[in-house]
Structure 1
Amino acid sequence: MLYFKKQFSKYFFLFLCFILTCIASQSNAQGNLLLNDTAENVKQEPSWPNDTLGRRTPRGTVEGFIKAVSQEDYAKAALYLSIDSTLKRKQDRVLQAQGLQQLLDQKGNIFPYSMISDKEEGQQGDNLGENFDHIGDATVDKDKFEILLENTKGSDGGPIWLFSIQTIQRIPLQLDSVSSAPLLSKLAPKVLEENKWRGVPLAHWMAMLLIIIVAYLLALGITKAAIIVIPLFWHKARIEPVSGIITAFALPIRLYLAVWLFVIGSRQAGIYIIVRQRFSDITVVVLLVAVLLLIWQLVDFVSRYAERRLARHGNQAGVSAVLFLRRAAKIALVIMCVIMILSTFGFDVTTGLAALGIGGIALALGAQKTVENFVGSVTLIADQPVRVGDFCKVGDVVGTVEQIGMRSTRIRTLNRTIVTIPNGEFSSNMIENYAHRDRFWFHPTFGLRFETTPDQIRYLLVELRSVLYAHPKVDPSPARVRFVEIGSDSLKLEVFAYVHAVNFDQFLEIQEDLYLRMMDIITESGTGFAFPSQTLYLAKDHAPSPEKAEEIHEKVKKWREAGDMPIPAFNPDYIDDLKNTIPYPPEGSSVYKNDNSFKDEKS
């Protein structure tokens, strides 16, 4: 199973590289660099004439040896073995080939062909050195060892892969010493042992089919029993989502367990290595399908579970996104499954991946806006800055969201028109959502006539603030009215408060009530609102008082003579004398009456 995981990881990595290539393909420079590097690597690979026995690669050597022994051509099979200098007779090499076959039949195993390297340099990174490849295991006298292939040089200098001398030396020359007769040979009728098909007794082919059926039935029974027993001890397994996850795991685990039982059963029954190798790639395919089927069912379950929850909350945009992602994930799984199965059966998928990569480049460039809009829709669904029915402002568009689709969002404006905004642009704009505010801002500014006296302003500051404190829909913190500006055409009072309302219509009702009450107070004060105007005064000119001017002149003269002129800067001692001489809050205010700190300082 470890080798299956390695093979699956390899194909998954290839598929992931293909996807990343498609995504990153918008950069033409990077794409050209990748193609150039690939071309250079192809040019650097040396080419050797074909070996008539197919021994240029580890997989070719194993396939050639299995084919030779299936034809009972042990002289040819011996050519796949390294030459042991200790053996002088040719028939001893034939005996070695027969011994290796019997060893593999009874106490050995060779990896599926798809897990054996099909490259001239062999499997790299396996910690065995560049001249050795591990292609199976065997046991002699309870001693388990690795079956290795060795990379040697042929007469033309090209690589020739042979079963290594270390492996050959472990083969017993006495064939009967390998093991006792296998279970199948003891139970099978002689007629099935004597009649052969493709060099293998019929008993082995029939036993292989029987083991497949028994293994699947056993796996079926085990998984069915597990589904019944698990909820008895784990109550969460009876309810969603745990029950759905267990159901999703049932079929893939059944297939995985069936393959495992099949492999173990075929070895224990003593099925010939020729038959087992013919079924080896099929077991790998079943395992790959089991893993991909598990991912398929998990994707299906999770997406349907999310779809039901989103539909329950009325999030139709989320439902659309889930459906799209589910289809995309299933299509990717199908493509990945086809690539892995073709590669398992020996088809070269690198050319197809290169073609898909070029097609992906063209598709990515052509569908750039589509991808951008899809990413924008995913962002809208994940962050949820707006929902269907929200009143919002997106850029310069103000209105109610009617639909959030996979490509665009539709907004009903105040003019009752429909504005469709692509989701890529929608998610990149500044979005102001009015639907989720907790309070409404009440912030008018009243402009009073210039004839308004200071006492009238004081009266208005008190009474207008009293309205805010007294109103049940106004939040008292903060609620303020301030005299903020002496403008060019009015004296300005600013009101700042927050109003509690469930929606904008109710806020307009409360705002209307506040405006009317404040207008009544301004009318009662004896002043009124200012209008942008110009006033022309026609009056007799009054000359400045010469007595006051002389008085001020004498005061400034005394400052000069005494050296106390506070210009251009005040004396620090004079500043200290002036500190806190103005009463604040002013005398007569309620705050002043309750604040004893200033009175104590003054006394």
Structure 2
Amino acid sequence: MLYHMFSARYCLTPLRYSLRYTSILWLALLLLCAIPTASYAQETVPDTAAVVAPEWPEDSLGRRTPRGAVTGFIKAVADGDYTRAAFFLNLEAASDTIQDGGVVAQALQRMLDQRSKTVPRSWISNEPDGDLEDNLPPNLERVGTATVNEEHIDILLEKTEGPAGGPIWLVAAETIRRVPLQETVPDETVIEKTLPGFLEENRWGGAPAGHWLGMLLIALAAYLLAWGITSGLILLISYIWRRTRDEPTFGFIRAFSLPIRLYLAALLLVYLSQRLGISFVLRQRFSELTIIVGLIAVLLLLWRLVDVITKFSQRRLVERSNMAGISIVLFLRRGAKIALVVFGAIFILDTLGFDVTTGLAALGIGGIALALGAQKTVENFVGSVTLIADQPIRVGDFCKVGDTSGTVEQIGMRSTRLRTTERTIVTIPNGDFSSQKIENFAHRDRFLFNPVLRLRYDTTPPQIQAVLRSLRETLSAHPKIDKDSARVRLTEITADALKLEVFSYVLTNDFNEQLEIKEGLLLTMMDAVNTKGKGFALPIQQLVVSKDGAGMDQKKETSA
């Protein structure tokens, strides 16, 4: 059972990625991180409303919960105290003919040592009511299976009522009835046939010394076998799919190699120790270690995927000269690694049997306090992500934000820096930057040419028409003027001048080039106004003195 539960609970869904879209890679990584987090939150956080303080005294043997019963039985067997181990068996309901419970406890140990699969201690329910979602009756708990003479036996715990009230969990009568007694015990296990007698007789920590040595050799053999399997698979994949020899595909395969090797080694250690007959006491001691190795393998895979995706993203962003995007990617990598360390520590502590509920509550309260105190920081970070995602500006663009105009020099995680025309640096927080109206001059494809010419009042209509024709010919003859938009019209007769409006677009996106074109056009138009007409209207002032000598001055603007 441990083999199946271990592989089902911590196996990874293969990560499918597209090398053309960096954002999909990050989304896949976030989904991988979210899956174990969500499941852990569902499994380990209890419903505080449903927790009721027990009204019964503590059991001296710790049998109030299934985990306590298993732990107590293992400790009694490891100490060789089979009389105490018998108190963890439901002998009364099993049979009226059983006289010596110690013999039954020893026979149960013998059965568990031979081809049994026991659930790791940390996976067994530590609640008085047991696991109510295991598809078993409420009073039963399955903690493993054993194989005797090719027959599968469920190792069940049964909830009974103690003398002082409250639940007492014992090895179920149904399991005890199927425990073979000494005369029907199966043949010796592989390790018992292999080890010399003195290694079987000497016991360390409740298990024969030879079993400790065998466990170490099995661990070494499992790792070497896992290394050979993963190396062979990598060579086979490289031979079949030649693209894997190039980056970034090779980087992804290399990221999977070590975690899969560790994970496979842990599975092989569990499987081989069960098949070779290592003492279940020793296997229970190593059960948490194998789970931790599996967790480390998963976390290591996610860690290495973060590095691979970061390098791939950086390379793509450098090709696009998107330095601000590199800052975002590095920040996300740092945040993802911190999250992996935090959740990895929580998982490992929970596997070792520590109560992490209080720590999670404190972490949640601390997170809320941190979020309230870092509102501006979070706002600026979201603003920087918005600037990178929408790309209203890029480094090197000349833009206007609010009343500030300048060239973008840096888009950081907190702020954006502009170099103004006066060569000063203006730093704008990204939260404010992304919420303001941004006018980007760098994406302009053409420049507007829209001067208004003021002609003198004494310019005659034929002269005005001659000026208009000359100006229109100037626009139509220039190769950099948009012919569809070009027009010259007499638009207004004001108190001091006749106004001609010129409207056209200069077909260039280079600022200096458009200045040169405008300069040439204006000089040509000045010549046309002076030669074809009477020249430009200039405002003048006249001093008028009244005849009565009152000395009243009146100023009047007229055209000269």
CA displacement 1:159-214 (0-9 Å, x = unmatched): 22233344334x23334545322111111111211222233221111100110111
The 1:273/1:498 distance shift into structure 2, 3 A limit, reads same
Counterpart residue number, 1:105 = 113
Q: Aligned to 2:430, which of 423, 426, 447? A: 423
Other-structure match for 1:399 = 406
Equivalence for 2:349: 342
The corresponding residue for 1:577 is none
The aligned counterpart of 1:73 is: 81
2:242 paired residue among 232, 235, 242? 235
- Equivalent residue in structure 1 for 2:37, among 6, 9, 12: 12
Q: CA deviation at 1:454?
A: 5.3
1:139 matched residue in structure 2: 147
Distance 1:103 1:475 in 2: 94
Number of equivalenced pairs: 517
What is aligned with 1:282? 289
Q: Is the 8 A contact 2:115 2:276 kept in 1?
A: no
5 Å-filtered alignment, 1:214-253, equals: 214-253=221-260
In 1, the alpha carbon distance for the partners of 2:80 and 2:529 equals: 116
TM-score by length of 2: 0.84
Q: Distance in 2 between matches of 1:298 and 1:462?
A: 70
Q: Residues 482-540 of structure 1, C-alpha deviation per residue, up to 9 Å, x if partnerless?
A: 4445556555444332222242111111122222223333334425445568999xxxx
Match of 1:399, SS state, is strand
The answer to whether structure 1 residue 3 and structure 2 residue 5 are counterparts is: yes
**Residues 312-338 of structure 1 deviation map (CA, whole Å, 9 limit, x = unaligned):** 544333333333322222222122222
SS at match of 2:188: coil
**Residue 120 of structure 1 pairs with residue 128 of structure 2:** yes
Cα distance in 2 for residues equivalent to 1:176 and 1:430: 89
What is the CA distance between 1:445 and its match in structure 2?
3.4
Match of 1:519 in 2: 526
- Secondary structure (helix, strand or coil) at the match of 1:419 reads strand
Name the residue aligned to 1:413.
Answer: 420
- Shift of residue 462 of structure 1? 4.3
Structural mapping, 1:492-571, within 5 Å: 492-530=499-537
Q: Can you list the C-alpha shifts for 1:216-264, whole angstroms capped at 9, x where unaligned?
A: 1111222223333321111111001000111111110110111111111
2:166 maps to which of 155, 158, 179: 158
Q: Pairwise mapping of residues 233-312 of structure 1 onto structure 2 (< 5 A)? A: 233-312=240-319
> Cα–Cα, structure 1 residues 334 and 463, in superposed 2: closer, same or farther, change >3 Å?
same
Could you report, residue by residue, the CA deviation over 1:338-390 in whole angstroms, capped at 9, with x for unpaired residues? 22111111111122222222222222222221222222222223333222221
5+ long unaligned stretches in structure 1? 18-33, 537-603
Deviation of 1:276 (Å): 0.5
Note if contact 1:15-1:336 (Cα within 8 Å) is conserved in structure 2. Answer: no
8 Å CA contact 1:87, 1:93 repeated in 2:
no
Aligned partner of 2:30 in structure 1 is none
Which TM-score applies when normalising by structure 1? Answer: 0.78
Residue pairs, 1:317-332, within 5 angstroms? 317-332=324-339
Closer, same or farther: CA 478–99 of 1 in aligned 2, 3 Å? farther
State the partner residue of 2:363.
Answer: 356
Q: What SS does the corresponding residue of 1:256 show, helix, strand or coil?
A: helix
Measured in 1, the distance between the counterparts of 2:4 and 2:496 equals 87
Q: CA deviation at 1:10?
A: 8.9
- Per the alignment, in what secondary structure is the counterpart of residue 88 of structure 1? coil
Matching residue's letter, 2:284? Q
Match of 1:55 in 2: 63
Following superposition of structure 1 onto structure 2, how do residues 438-517 of structure 1 map, counting pairs within 5 Å? 438-449=445-456, 456=463, 458-485=465-492, 490-517=497-524
Q: 1:386 aligns to what?
A: 393
Q: Once the two structures are superposed, what CA deviation does each residue of 1:296-316 show, in whole Å capped at 9, x if it has no partner?
A: 111112212323443454433
2:442 is paired with a residue of what secondary structure?
Answer: coil
Cα distance change, pair 86–166 in 1 and its aligned pair in 2 (3 A): closer
Partners of 1:81 and 1:47 in 2: CA distance = 24
The 8 Å contact of residues 200 and 208 in structure 2, kept in 1 or not, is answered as yes
Bigger mean CA deviation after superposition, 359-368 or 54-63: 359-368
* Contact 1:478–1:498 (CA under 8 A) maintained in structure 2: yes
Pick which of 188-197 and 473-482 moved more.
473-482
The percent identity for this pair of structures is: 55
1:94 shift after superposition: 4.0
CA shift for structure 1 position 402: 1.6
**Offset, 1:96:** 3.8
| Aligned 8 A contact 1:399 1:412 in 2 | yes
Change (3 A) 1:74 1:451: farther
Cα–Cα, structure 1 residues 455 and 217, in superposed 2: closer, same or farther, change >3 Å? same
> Residue 189 of structure 1 corresponds to which residue in structure 2?
196
Q: Which moved more, 1:420-429 or 1:47-56?
A: 47-56
Instruction: Summarize deviations over 1:533-556 as a string: whole Å, max 9, x none.
Output: 8999xxxxxxxxxxxxxxxxxxxx
| Mean Cα deviation higher: 174-183 or 293-302 | 174-183
The change in CA–CA distance for 1:10 and 1:119 in structure 2 (over 3 A counts) is farther
Structure 2: distance between partners of 1:464 and 1:132: 100
Indicate which of 351, 373, 382 corresponds to 2:380. 373
Q: Secondary structure at the match of 1:173?
A: coil
Question: What is the identity, as a one-letter code, of the residue corresponding to 2:190?
Answer: L
Task: Give the letter aligned to residue 257 of structure 2.
Answer: A
Answer yes or no: is the 8 Å Cα contact 1:11–1:340 preserved in 2.
no
CA 1:516 to 1:161, structure 2 compared with 1: closer, same or farther past 3 Å? farther
Task: Determine the C-alpha separation between the residues in 2 that align with 1:124 and 1:494.
Answer: 86
Q: Deviations over 1:415-446 (max 9, x none)?
A: 22111111121122222111122222223333
In structure 2, the residue corresponding to 1:347 is in which secondary structure?
A: coil
> Which secondary structure state, in structure 2, belongs to the residue aligned with residue 476 of structure 1?
coil
Letter of the structure 1 residue corresponding to residue 287 of structure 2 = S
In the alignment, structure 1 residue 198 sits paired with structure 2 residue 200 = no
What amino acid is aligned across from residue 280 of structure 1 in structure 2?
A: S
Segment of structure 1 superposing worse, 522-531 or 190-199: 522-531
Task: Name the CA shift for 1:142/1:460 in 2 (closer, same or farther; >3 Å).
Answer: farther
1:97–1:434 distance in 2 versus 1, CA, 3 Å? same
